[in-house]
Amino acid sequence: MAIASPRELFVHELADMMSAEQQILKALPELQQEAQHAELKRAFKEHETETKGQIKNLQQVFKQLGEQPEETTCFGMQGLVQEHHALHEEDPSPEMLERANLSAAAKTEQYEIVAYAGLIQLAKELGEKDSAKLLQENLDQEQAMAKRVAALTKEIAKEAK
């Protein structure tokens, strides 16, 4: 389908975000398992629960628009997941794997933050206030997780000294 209007772009970008969240949901159990720091393990676990809610919010947005999400792959998120696999092939020590996973989490959250900000902009532009509200809920969670990851990155680096 040709994308010739902000609404069509919105629907396309929403499907892309749905794919991103689904890929994140699949990746989070592995990150939980690998995490050594108890607080990091907890953060990944809690973000898994949040991610399930974020997917529900996206489904709700599609409902509000009277649209179905098209089958699509978010290549941005696929790239981040592949980087995680590539790092594993370099045989990282547990400590460096922890640091790399923190960095991967930080990159993922920034990606999501920018993506949701763009979606909210489009929702507002289209007068889709209820959709904008649901997307804002997701954005708030991503921002909170980004802060949590940043604080843990500092803490874990300090403990390593």
Binding region for Fe ion (CB under 5 A): 51, 54, 112, 142, 145
How near is the Cβ of 32 to Fe ion at its closest, in Å? Answer: 14
How near is the Cβ of 158 to Fe ion at its closest, in Å? Answer: 24
- Shorter beta-carbon distance to Fe ion: residue 10 or 111: 111
- At 91, give phi and psi (nearest 5°): 55, 60
- Shorter beta-carbon distance to Fe ion: residue 7 or 84: 84
Q: Is 68 helix (H, G, I), strand (E, B) or coil?
A: coil
Measured at the alpha carbon of residue 108, what is the angle toward residues 74 and 76, in degrees to the nearest 5? 25
* Side chain identity at residue 60, one-letter code: Q
How near is the Cβ of 86 to Fe ion at its closest, in Å? Answer: 21
- Shorter beta-carbon distance to Fe ion: residue 40 or 145: 145
How near is the Cβ of 18 to Fe ion at its closest, in Å? Answer: 10
Measured at the alpha carbon of residue 136, what is the angle toward residues 11 and 63, in degrees to the nearest 5? 40
- Shorter beta-carbon distance to Fe ion: residue 3 or 53: 53
- Shorter beta-carbon distance to Fe ion: residue 52 or 95: 52
The rounded distance, in Å, linking the Cα atoms of 69 and 142 is 22
Contact 33, 101 (CB under 8 A): no
Best CA proximity match to 61, nearest among 5, 118, 120: 120
- Among all chains, which residue has been given the structure tokens 């929403």? 14
How near is the Cβ of 60 to Fe ion at its closest, in Å? Answer: 15
